[in-house]
Amino acid sequence: MIIVIKKEHEQKQLDNLVKWVKAQGVEIDTSIGSNSTVLGLIGDTSKIDIDLLRSLDIVEDVKRIQEPYKCANRKFHPDDTIVDVSGHKFGGNHFQIIAGPCSVESEKQIIYVAEKVKAAGATVLRGGAFKPRTSPYSFQGLRENGLKLLLKAKEETGMPIVTEIMSVRHIDLFKDVDIIQVGARDMQNFELLKEVGKLNKPVLLKRGLANTVEEWLMSAEYIMSEGCKDIILCERGIRTFEPYTRNTLDLSAIPLLKELTHLPVIVDPSHASGIARLVHPLSLAAVGAGAHGLMIEVHNDPPHALCDGAQSIRPEQFEDLVKNIDVMLPIVGKERDKS
Amino acid sequence: MIIVIKKEHEQKQLDNLVKWVKAQGVEIDTSIGSNSTVLGLIGDTSKIDIDLLRSLDIVEDVKRIQEPYKCANRKFHPDDTIVDVSGHKFGGNHFQIIAGPCSVESEKQIIYVAEKVKAAGATVLRGGAFKPRTSPYSFQGLRENGLKLLLKAKEETGMPIVTEIMSVRHIDLFKDVDIIQVGARDMQNFELLKEVGKLNKPVLLKRGLANTVEEWLMSAEYIMSEGCKDIILCERGIRTFEPYTRNTLDLSAIPLLKELTHLPVIVDPSHASGIARLVHPLSLAAVGAGAHGLMIEVHNDPPHALCDGAQSIRPEQFEDLVKNIDVMLPIVGKERDKS
Amino acid sequence: MIIVIKKEHEQKQLDNLVKWVKAQGVEIDTSIGSNSTVLGLIGDTSKIDIDLLRSLDIVEDVKRIQEPYKCANRKFHPDDTIVDVSGHKFGGNHFQIIAGPCSVESEKQIIYVAEKVKAAGATVLRGGAFKPRTSPYSFQGLRENGLKLLLKAKEETGMPIVTEIMSVRHIDLFKDVDIIQVGARDMQNFELLKEVGKLNKPVLLKRGLANTVEEWLMSAEYIMSEGCKDIILCERGIRTFEPYTRNTLDLSAIPLLKELTHLPVIVDPSHASGIARLVHPLSLAAVGAGAHGLMIEVHNDPPHALCDGAQSIRPEQFEDLVKNIDVMLPIVGKERDKS
Amino acid sequence: MIIVIKKEHEQKQLDNLVKWVKAQGVEIDTSIGSNSTVLGLIGDTSKIDIDLLRSLDIVEDVKRIQEPYKCANRKFHPDDTIVDVSGHKFGGNHFQIIAGPCSVESEKQIIYVAEKVKAAGATVLRGGAFKPRTSPYSFQGLRENGLKLLLKAKEETGMPIVTEIMSVRHIDLFKDVDIIQVGARDMQNFELLKEVGKLNKPVLLKRGLANTVEEWLMSAEYIMSEGCKDIILCERGIRTFEPYTRNTLDLSAIPLLKELTHLPVIVDPSHASGIARLVHPLSLAAVGAGAHGLMIEVHNDPPHALCDGAQSIRPEQFEDLVKNIDVMLPIVGKERDKS
């Protein structure tokens, strides 16, 4: 960490600062230039509050040299973490496809979709039971009931399941869920992160709508600091000024994350754009960018249904997509896990 | 609500859509142009899922005509809501100043600051007990203990208190808190909003770091739909590409909100910029923009303390600020409430 | 276009508005609901000033139904535009690779790189002569001289060239340039767009750092409205709050643009992230997203040079990349043009 | 400037880098920690290309300690610059109001508005002759003719004028314009900045829609490095995700700029929001934030005109605003210049 001191400062203030910093167990290397004095902090600075320093009268700027995350940092854990979900491996050269409907709607629907996506190559079943909705007047998911139907589908098909938790109050309901999803809006729900970190279960952590890669890794750090090692990061689009797509999928984050962290990272192309027609090209793009997997919404398609062209793609479109992915995977050195 | 239908569509799909929309209890006015067919939906469309419609194959676009919020909508409640907190009124031509330290640190500290800010003109005491921190390694607040100290300060000074809730698990601890604060990161923690809405207490709802004004009002709607009427909105800066300031204070939102909603809206200039020197000018700016009040961090200032120039301003700076605010208030037709 | 009229309005104001709108040659379909009156404008609304309407006292909101661009709109030109550059075709199922150094530095350098990238599969040579730099103290490019060296390389290798124009004053210098590049910072330099549109040459139009897809197409429209038909759009990243990468590459824009416009669209992965290590994965991602080509910075690599790991990739890395692209292209139904 | 070197690096690469940096006339202070080696560059680093350094294989990160701007930097010019426009002073404790119509439409209109705003307290007349418009089909301003009418109004009223330049081709037409405005879209039109900097005239430099404060000051630096000393900065809103307002006025930038630079900074509240009703509160907010002046659109208001409630405010509203500003100015230590 580098602390730039203002040109005009009282020596006493500087002495106080130096004393305080040293009391945090960090050494200081001072360098005096013509326009500013620079303190270089050497040692473990992860516990030093950068905002506090920045707010001091005599401080002009503070710059971090080391990343503030440790458990999630590839520097300290050079090998890829492999998250094992009932034998399906996330990370390294494994490629996994999670698929399923946006919301669990009925037993018939979830089992129908589960069988379809399993046959086409998905290894983990997704399905929303608790649904975060902008409006209190929108459908909030089948909640407890949705969870039960999802577990039924797990039993029927043998697929492990992933579904979103929205409150610490619901934790007991998730004991048979294989991967606990923390949604974008809860990425910085720190109390939830801490409790989820204690469950000894894989966690799928989505990136917040307006969160930096560093903040995302700090949220992974929250979970990991409670003992959980099995985190799957999931990029799902960030908020920008562009109105055509609901969010802007940040695929640069994929190769970047692979440098910064040892955790697997997958992509959700369905939520990012909010446009079903974009799921196919964005899935291929995610594979090209080096993702360890995809999480795709696939919808049942009974004739005469309203939502025939919904944000979710149909099972036969999903099948086509998986075939294209299979051709691409060798280029990026990955192999798709077969169920 | 306006649904624009694609030029090329099957009549059967359109008929299905029209049938489904009518089943939602809404009437349809169809208008056929050379390049598109437009359906105008007349009636209460607040329960219609705009994302679902947008995702249909035959739909080119969907545009809302009416705001999706009702309880918070000025159209349906033309008069200003006045939130009464132990006799201190938020809204209308009242102007309130909330002040206190960033974090509660000790009994001595919180009582010292409370007395100072009360003497200078603050009517409500703020102080963080549960602190949302990006890093799990940063100080997380005194938590339960912090709450107790805050209640002690309330007892000593007679000031009502406002503090942030971070988990539904802590709700019981908040029964003597006068205003429950929902922080920026929890603005879309919908399960928390619902539970807070049932407490029959005033709620201070901060705007999320990357949330639109409409989403903010929808979160107010979540709380209001559970029966709570007393919501104070608090603008605290949004995330942009500008790195000099931590966030960009969106003061245009103030006059805008006064048109869209009847709820009072205040400004937190301390968190927005993260720079103590900006608190004074941004406070005056907020008054000029028409805010119903301010929420300001004021720090104790014992000699030799490290944080003498911290993000919080000192009591004597706060006093100066209040004097300037008093000169400005008549211009904007407001009167400061005296404690 | 839909004009939503405020609930409270004077009939006379509405009559004035209706009269004015009709005078623009557009028909009106009025629909009166309980909370608002909605005017539906039928006909060519591309010349109607939406900001003007929005600013009227009686208008609550204005929503566009039709895109404001015509020449660039796929609705009116369903077939893909194929831009022919000395026999190399951009658009449709053609895939082109533009490559070359960031800046032209010397005759030896530009010819060396040109030969290398041509041998590896590039069909068009890029190279900056006029360089837009944030700082007046940074190297501004070799300017006129750089252009001459680029033309020399064209002569030596037979490759057509693309380079950026920064001022209308330089137009005469560009008469032998094959594709004129309009950079991100000039995307809304409207006077430049107009003059470039008159040159009867292909134009490569980069997306502005903070411009929407619609504004980008409107800038293409500026050029096209002067008679130019041959525009190649180039996505190069947009500005977001994420600091790790210089810009966020918006690959969702690729499949979206292919719906909205008939113009070819390519991707520049070098500028987007500013990190050389990300060029390979982001290039493959761009191919997966359906881009019609790539524009890649390739650096000469003399031993002992300072910039051995610069933002540009080295010729041998470029070769590897092209091989991977070749495996992917059949999946996306494209064929790489051979020089 | 601080260069963080990767843990794993070849000594030879580091030696090359050190040699190169020293050749730029800068000294190096090396500090070796357990996870990284840090080079501290001491001396004038304004000419060192930070992007180039960042792209080197052995470099992990580069952080600037000193601002890259010099002429515009308050550190090197502690006293406020006072820009004198025909006796009207911008900067220091002076407060100026620029007002006039969005576009010059006719001789009658511009003179009418000029007289009105002068009577109410404006000291400089604004009016668009060359208009940057997103669409080529929108009104592009009266151009040369508009300039002539503006000069006519100057003659009639004695008010100095400010108007936007859009192309280096038009420079000769601006010889009698008192302040040359460089618009938001041209903030990084570097060739234009250079030519405008040579004119020996005050320049009003608007902030780009998505430009940082640092980039803005670097653009001022471009103009100043050509000899121009008289620059007035003008904040006019930045682009964010919020759709209600056209742009988000960044008032935090005002007190920040007053620390970073000695140049005067004013605010344009009319363009920022695009909503006439917000001009009054945002103007007062700008005064509170410490702006040195305002630039306000004021519209003529003939009966029966279409645009009776346009984005511009009416002369009588402008009069009211000036009265309120006058009450506020003593609080912020400023005095309004009287014409």
ipTM: 0.92
- Kindly determine whether residue D285 and residue B285, on different chains, have CB atoms separated by under 8 Å: yes
Produce one character per residue of A111-138: b if its CB has 16 or more CB atoms within 10 Å, e if not: bbbbbbbbebbbbbbbbbbbbbbbbbbb
Beta carbons of B285 and D328 less than 8 Å apart: no
pLDDT reading at D283 higher than 50: yes
pLDDT beyond 50 at A28: yes
- Going by pLDDT thresholds of 50, 70 and 90, the confidence category of residue C36 is confident
Residue C244: count of CB within 10 angstroms of its CB = 18
Report which listed range, A166-170, A308-312, B5-9, is most confident: A166-170
Q: What is the mean pLDDT of residues A150-157?
A: 98
Mark yes or no for CB contact A289/C284 under 8 Å.
yes
Q: Contact A337/A88 with Cβ under 8 angstroms?
A: yes
* Per-residue pLDDT, B120: 96
Tokens at residue C334, please?
């494209």
**Higher-pLDDT residue of C155, C308:** C155
State which residue of chain A sits closest to B171, comparing Cα positions. Answer: A169
On the question of pLDDT at A307 being above 70, the answer is no
pLDDT at C307: 42
CA D293 to chain C, closest CA, distance in angstroms equals: 24
Query: Is the Cβ of B254 closer than 8 Å to some Cβ of chain D?
Result: yes
pLDDT digits (tens, 9 = 90+) for C128-186: 999 999 999 888 899 999 999 999 999 999 999 999 999 999 999 999 999 999 999 99
Among residues of chain B, what percentage have pLDDT more than 70?
96
* Residue A103 or residue A183, greater confidence: A183
Residues C282-298 pLDDT 10s? 999 999 999 999 999 99
Q: How far apart are CA D67 and CA B249, in angstroms?
A: 24
Closest CA to A296 of A95, A125, A170: A125
A216 to chain B, closest Cα gap in Å: 9
Question: Closest Cα to residue A259, out of A285, A289, A283?
Answer: A289
Phi, psi of B293 (to 5 degrees): 170, 180
Q: Give start and end residues of each alpha helix (H) in chain B.
A: 11-23, 50-54, 107-120, 144-157, 190-197, 213-224, 253-260, 269-273, 279-289, 315-328
Q: Which residues of A touch D31 (CB under 8 A)?
A: 29, 31, 40, 42
Distance CA A211, CA D184 (A): 27
- When pLDDT is averaged across residues A249-259 and rounded to a whole number, the result is 96
Contact across the interface for A285 and C251, Cβ inside 8 Å = yes
Residue B271's pLDDT band, with cuts at 50, 70 and 90, is: confident
Q: Is the predicted pLDDT of residue B179 greater than 90, yes or no? A: yes
Contact state of D248 with B245 under an 8 Å Cβ cutoff: no
Mean pLDDT, chain D, rounded, equals 91
Q: Hey, are the CB atoms on B306 and A17 less than 8 Å from each other?
A: yes
Contacts of residue B9, Cβ cutoff 8 Å, sequence gap at least 6: B37, B57, B58
pLDDT beyond 80 at C33:
no
Nearest C-alpha of chain D: how many angstroms from C221? 7
Q: Does A313 touch chain C (CB under 8 A)?
A: no
d(CA D104, CA B216): 39
Is pLDDT of A46 > 80? no
Name the residue among B143, B131, B210, B206 with its Cα closest to residue A190.
B131
User: Does C275 contact chain A (CB < 8 Å)?
Assistant: yes
DSSP collapsed to 3 states, chain A: CEEEECCCCCHHHHHHHHHHHHHCCCEEEEEECCCCEEEEEECCCCCCCHHHHHCCCCEEEEECCCCCCCCCECCCCCCCCCEEECCEEEECCEEEEEEECCECCCHHHHHHHHHHHHHHCCCEEECECCCCCCCCCCCCCCCHHHHHHHHHHHHHHCCCEEEEECCHHHHHHHCCCCEEEECHHHCCCHHHHHHHHCCCCCEEEECCCCCCHHHHHHHHHHHHCCCCCCEEEEECCECCCCCCCCCECECCHHHHHHHHECCCEEECHHHHHCCHHHHHHHHHHHHHHCCCEEEEEECCCCCCCCCCCCCCECHHHHHHHHHHHHHHHHHHCCEECCC
Q: Which chains touch C (3 or more CB pairs under 8 A)?
A: A, B, D
Q: Is D57 in Cβ contact with C309 (below 8 Å)?
A: yes
Report CB contact under 8 Å: B306, A188. Answer: no
pLDDT band (50, 70, 90) for residue B310: low
Show residues of chain A in contact with C332, CB under 8 Å.
281, 284
As a whole number of angstroms, the distance between CA C195 and CA C223 comes to 8
- State the Cα angle at A176 between A174 and A179, rounded to 5°: 70
Going by C-alpha positions, the residue among B117, B92, B6 that lies closest to residue B55 is: B6
Residue-wise pLDDT tens digits, D57-83: 788 888 887 888 999 999 899 999 999
pLDDT of B307: 42
Give the pLDDT score at C150.
98
Q: Is C316 helix (H, G, I), strand (E, B) or coil?
A: helix
Does position C1 have pLDDT exceeding 80, yes or no?
Answer: yes
Which residues in chain B have their CB less than 8 angstroms from residue C7's CB? 75
Q: What is residue A301's predicted lDDT score, i.e. its pLDDT?
A: 64
In terms of phi and psi (left: phi > 0; alpha: psi -120 to 50; beta: otherwise), the region of C274 is left
The three-state secondary structure class of D299 is: coil
Rg (CA), chain D: 23
Q: In what order do the strands lie in the sheet with C2-5?
A: C27-32, C37-42, C2-5, C59-63
Give C-chain residues touching B7 at CB under 8 angstroms: 75
pLDDT value of residue A328: 95
Please check the confidence at residue B95 and state whether its pLDDT lies above 90: yes
User: What whole-number percentage of chain D has pLDDT above 70?
Assistant: 96
pLDDT digits (tens, 9 = 90+) for C191-242: 999 999 999 999 999 999 999 999 999 999 999 999 999 999 999 999 999 9
* DSSP 8-state class, residue C248: B
- pTM surpassing 0.95? no
> How many angstroms separate the first and last alpha carbons of chain B?
47
Sign for the CA dihedral angle at B187, B190, B196, B202 comes to positive
* H-helix or E-strand spanning residue C44: none
Question: Is it the case that residue D308 has pLDDT exceeding 50?
Answer: no
Picking from B87-91, D43-47, D232-236, which range would have the lowest pLDDT averaged per residue?
Answer: D43-47
Mean pLDDT in residue range D206-226 = 97
The pLDDT value given to residue D32 = 75
Residue C103 with chain D: CB contacts under 8 Å: none
Indicate if the pLDDT at residue A115 is higher than 90: yes
pLDDT band at C280 (very low <50, low <70, confident <90, very high): very high
Nearest Cβ partner for D278 among B252, B324, B331: B252
Strand (E) or helix (H) holding B123: none
Helices (H), chain D: 11-23, 50-54, 107-120, 144-157, 190-197, 213-224, 253-260, 269-273, 279-289, 315-328
- Which range scores top for mean pLDDT: B20-29, B170-179, B301-310? B170-179
In chain C, residues with a C-beta closer than 8 Å to the C-beta of A240 are 238, 240, 248, 250
Q: Is the pLDDT of residue B26 over 80?
A: yes
Give the best residue of B3, B20, B47, B55 to mutate against chain A (max A CB count within 10 A). B55
Determine the pLDDT at residue A275. Answer: 79
| pLDDT for residue B305 is more than 70 | no
What does the pLDDT read at residue B295?
97
Q: What is the pLDDT at residue D1?
A: 85
The H or E element that residue B167 is part of is none
DSSP designation for C190: H
* Per-residue pLDDT at D185 exceeds 90: yes
- Three-state SS for D281? helix
Q: Percentage of residues in chain A with pLDDT exceeding 70?
A: 96
Q: pLDDT band for position A41 (50/70/90)?
A: confident
B268 phi and psi angles, rounded to 5 deg: -110, 95
Residue C303 has pLDDT above 50, yes or no: no
Interval A180-225: pLDDT, tens: 999 999 999 999 999 999 999 999 999 999 999 999 999 999 999 9
Query: Could you tell me which residues are beta bridge partners of residue C35?
Result: none
With 70 as the cut, is the pLDDT of residue C301 above it? Answer: no
Task: Compute the mean pLDDT over every residue in chain C, rounded to the nearest whole number.
Answer: 91
C253 touches chain A (CB under 8 A): yes
User: What pLDDT is recorded for position C339?
Assistant: 63
pLDDT recorded at residue A19: 87
**A56/A60 Cα distance (integer angstroms):** 8
Query: For the residues of D54-121, what is the DSSP string, one character each?
Result: HTSTTEEEEE-SS-S-STTBTTT--SPP-EEETTEEEBTTEEEEEEE-SB---HHHHHHHHHHHHHHT
D287 touches chain B (CB under 8 A): yes
Q: How confident is the model at residue D309 (pLDDT cuts 50, 70, 90)?
A: very low
Contact A205, A185 (CB under 8 A): no
In chain C, residues with a C-beta closer than 8 Å to the C-beta of B27 are none
Q: Average pLDDT of chain B?
A: 91
**Greater pLDDT, D116 or A137:** D116
Nearest to A171 by CA among A140, A211, A200: A200
Over 90: is that where the pLDDT of C125 sits? yes
